[in-house]
Structure 1
Amino acid sequence: MNKQNSKHKKLVQFWLCGIGFTIGMVVLFGLGYILCHLVTWQSYETPYILLKMAEFGIAPVLFLAGWGFLIYRFFFYVPRAVSDRSRAIRRLWLRTVLLLFLSIVLWLGLMILLLVGISSLLRWDIVWNGSASMAYILQTIRFLTPFLAIVGVVVISLLLFRKPFSYLQEIVQAAEQMQQEPEKPITLSAPVKTIQDELNRLRESSNQNALAAKEAEQRKNDLIVYLAHDLKTPLTSVIGYLSLLQDEPEISQELRAKYTGIALNKAQRLEELINQFFEITRFQLTHMELEWETIHFSRMLEQTAFEFQPILEEKHLQLQTEIAPDVKLTCDPDKLERVVDNLIRNAISYSYPDTAISLEMHTTEEYAVLTICNTGRTISPEKLDRIFEQFFRGDSSRATATGGAGLGLAIAKQITELHGGTIKADSRNEQIRFTVTLPLRQKIV
């Protein structure tokens, strides 16, 4: 929003300055016209000539110089908000065409104004001196004015704009290079080094975004392959045990219960894997929108922790809580509960057996701070930097029994940031700690 406002502000400033220049020049022309008629009535030849020189010489030069400066500033400005190569190239080409067109129009106008001024001075010289030969010259100049203006535009453009347009051509070629050879650094002439730095920054940012997207896509594809492979094992077991129960009607009740229990466990594993597929689909296709409520945050944490007791007992883990009482929070309760759920599940998945997981929550003047800590294998700094990326899993082995689709922490980060909060991860001395900071009150628009 701030970048968009800044862009609009620059456009408004550009047009206000241009309108100001235009109004100023109109006023100067008007004053010159009035003064010229006044001195004409009094037959003052010298003041009239000076006024005409100002009207058709100084004023047009100031006008065109002002507009030229504004056009240069506007059309050579490379916006920092552009992160897409094709958009940057389209903008540079558009600015090239507009700059060429406007420069021709402005210089053509300058030449016409100067030639009209000369012919006007000659016309008044004829009025005062009655020279017939000058009348012929005047008619010839008026006839040749358009051709002289065009020739003047071409000559002046070649002389004055040759170097700037060569720089502009460098910029356009550099933009095309960004599209065709994104890995190659851009090198421009010294006068446009600032634009060179901006284009290189844009190139590096675009390359990083493309690489991150490619890696995320590859991780997602690998994960889907792993999940598809892991679907086969429990499904084969379910079919095998159910076939055995069907083919052996005389099997003992004890074995029947055992086989049924195994088939049920394998079916539940299948359900978990299918849920992971749905998690991937939902994350890719949905856009999160928050539904704000004021909730009893302390009570929600206690309830969520209690719901994990069966899983904790099965994994031989303990969950120790230290929650500040009566803390209320403005949030989307379903989304925030998902954050807490994902963090606790992550702690369970990566904890050593027979260890404790701690869940603590305290408040400051403006924030609620939630900390979840577990004992497990220390995460390397390289993995810690990427732990909130989509489809990234700390355990890169093919087994998916530990951890999920690699989306839990990415989703937790997205939801936390939508609430205006932050989430951080730290790992040292076999301790893994996640800290979530949330504002207690929200400015809901």
Structure 2
Amino acid sequence: MSQLKSLNLLKPSGGLDMKSSSKSKRPLRIITISLGIILAVIIIFWFFDIVLNGMIVDWFENNYMTTYEEYIPDVGKVGIIHRPNWDMLKQLLFVVVIAILFIGMLVVILVSHLYAKSRVRKNTKEIGKMLHDYILSEKDAADIFPENYGDIATQMSEIKAQMRSHEQILKEETARKNDLILYLAHDLKTPLASVIGYLNLLRDERHISEDLQERYLSISLEKAERLEDLINEFFDIARFNLTDISLQYSKINLTRLLEQLAYEFKPMLKEKNLTCNLQIPDDLMLRCDANKIQRAFDNLLRNAVIYSYPDTEVNVTVVRQNDDVVIKFINHGDTISKENLERIFEQFYRLDISRSTSSGGAGLGLAISKRIIELHHGTITASSENDLIEFTVTLPTS
């Protein structure tokens, strides 16, 4: 915003401004136009009087006057009589009237066009200045836009409110992203220190029992896997800013994909003694980008497992509705508040109050799933009540 305000430095500090300069030129412009009109009248008069001398009179007499000789008793002589040819004069008058009307209409159209263009240019400058002042100031629209610009004032108020809202959301997302990077970096130290410590013990203590060696190796492996998860979250944060995502469509068996996904989650399900129930029609086909859809469903199922109560069920149901397929992920867990539901698909947003990354992820899973599903022209919604959490995905089958 400060960059925009610096543009005001371009305005001269002294002398006449643009409006006073324009006003000073108006008398000179009027004098110039008047002299031009006078000069044009003189040239036209000279052309008809000198260059075309006699030609117009001869043309008029030959076409619109009847000339004949007739004896005039009063003077006792034969004279040449000129009488108007009224039929021809009526035709001439009709043509002249039509020509005058046509020329007048053209003049009116031209003047109206020039006037309208001038008014549009003037209004555009006025609106541009008002928009500039409104965007750079903290004033209300009613204080800048006059009453006859009420519609514009209303629209600009809405646009400015949306801009501020988007700016605030961007600031919050950036702050959450920076916080997560700091916490992820901090969390990397703990498992790394554990791995180094246990490996040093295995190297230095030659007479450790096999059971203790197995225990140390298991702990080291667990910490190494945690390191891998944290590093993957770093990659997610880096990749999420890439908006140019292309889809590679193919026809897949959705039933087999979800069955395979549930099988891969068996270790996580076992840790909390969870049961995953699949209710899917046999051989349900879906045209999509298989890798990206699998990632979206992986995020949703992982989210359901992480936030489930122990010893409960995770249900995945699929039904066909006309040309769409509806997939639901339902688990038993703490009811999500309405405020959290409204923000649950924001990037880097996490439900848990704790800042630590030891539980959950970087807050990207649901945001990534939403983007992937929308790229497939689908929708995703979330609802929660009575200790139930439900995510509903709707995708076109073709």
TM-score calculated relative to the size of structure 2: 0.73
Q: Could you tell me which amino acid in structure 2 is paired with residue 174 of structure 1?
A: M
In structure 2, what is the Cα distance between the partners aligned to 1:396 and 1:173? 47
Decide which moves more: 47-56 or 370-379: 47-56
What is residue 356 of structure 1 aligned with on the other side? 313
Q: Which residue of 2 aligns with 1:185?
A: 140
Answering whether residue 105 of structure 2 is matched by residue 58 of structure 1, we say yes
Taking the aligned partners of 1:351 and 1:371, their CA distance within structure 2 comes to 15
Paired residue for 2:356, among 396, 399, 420? 399
* Corresponding residue of 1:294: 251
Given that residues 336 and 389 in structure 2 are in contact (C-alpha distance below 8 angstroms), is that contact kept between their aligned partners in structure 1? yes
Question: Contact conserved, 1:178 with 1:203, CA < 8 A, in 2?
Answer: no
The one-letter amino acid of 1:287's match is D
How many Å separate the matches in 1 of 2:131 and 2:208?
76
Q: Residues of 2 paired with 1:256 and 1:326: CA distance?
A: 47
Spell out, residue by residue over 1:97-141, the C-alpha distance to the aligned partner (whole angstroms, 9 max, x if none): xx25xxxxxxxxxxxxxxxxxxxxxxxxxxxxxxxxxxxxxxxxx
Per-residue CA distance 1:373-422 (angstroms, 9 max, x = gap): 01111111011001111111111312212211111111111111111111
- Give the Å deviation of 1:70: 7.7
Structure 1 contact 387–409 (Cα < 8 Å) conserved? yes
Q: How does 1:5-404 map to 2 (within 5 A)?
A: 50=97, 53-66=100-113, 99=121, 168-169=125-126, 171-181=127-137, 183-187=138-142, 188-404=145-361
Measure the CA separation in 2 of the matches of 1:330 and 1:71: 56
Whole-angstrom distance in 2 between the partners of 1:197 and 1:53: 47
CA distance in 2, matches of 1:396, 1:178: 39
Instruction: Tell me how far apart the structure 2 counterparts of residues 185 and 220 of structure 1 sit (CA, whole Å).
Output: 33
Between Structure 1 and Structure 2, which shows a larger proportion of strand residues?
2
Q: Quick one: distance in 1 between partners of 2:258 and 2:237?
A: 26
Q: Deviations over 1:224-262 (max 9, x none)?
A: 111111111111111221222222222222222211211
**Structure 1 contact 298–325 (Cα < 8 Å) conserved:** yes
Question: After TM superposition, where is structure 1 displaced by more than 4 Å over at least 4 residues in a row?
Answer: 40-53, 66-72
Residues 416 and 64 of structure 1: CA distance in aligned 2, closer, same or farther (over 3 Å): farther
The count of residues paired between Structure 1 and Structure 2 equals 311
- Paired with 2:376 and 2:337, the residues of 1 have a C-alpha distance of 29
| 1:67 CA drift (Å) | 6.6
Structure in which a larger fraction of residues adopt helix:
1
Distance 1:172 1:286 in 2: 33
Give secondary structure in 2 for the equivalent of 1:284. coil
- Residue 258 of structure 1 aligns with an amino acid whose one-letter code is R
Distance 2:198 2:380 in 1: 45
**Does the CA contact (< 8 Å) of 1:350 and 1:402 recur in 2?**
no
Secondary structure of the equivalent of 2:268? Answer: helix
Using the aligned pairs only, state the percent identity.
43
Secondary structure of 1:291 counterpart = coil
Instruction: Single out whichever of 52-61 and 293-302 deviates more from structure 2.
Output: 52-61
Deviations, residues 126-177 of structure 1 (Å, cap 9, x unaligned): xxxxxxxxxxxxxxxxxxxxxxxxxxxxxxxxxxxxxx57xx52x3333223
For structure 1, the residue ranges without an aligned partner over 5 or more in a row are 1-36, 76-98, 101-163
In structure 1, distance between residues paired with 2:338 and 2:220: 41
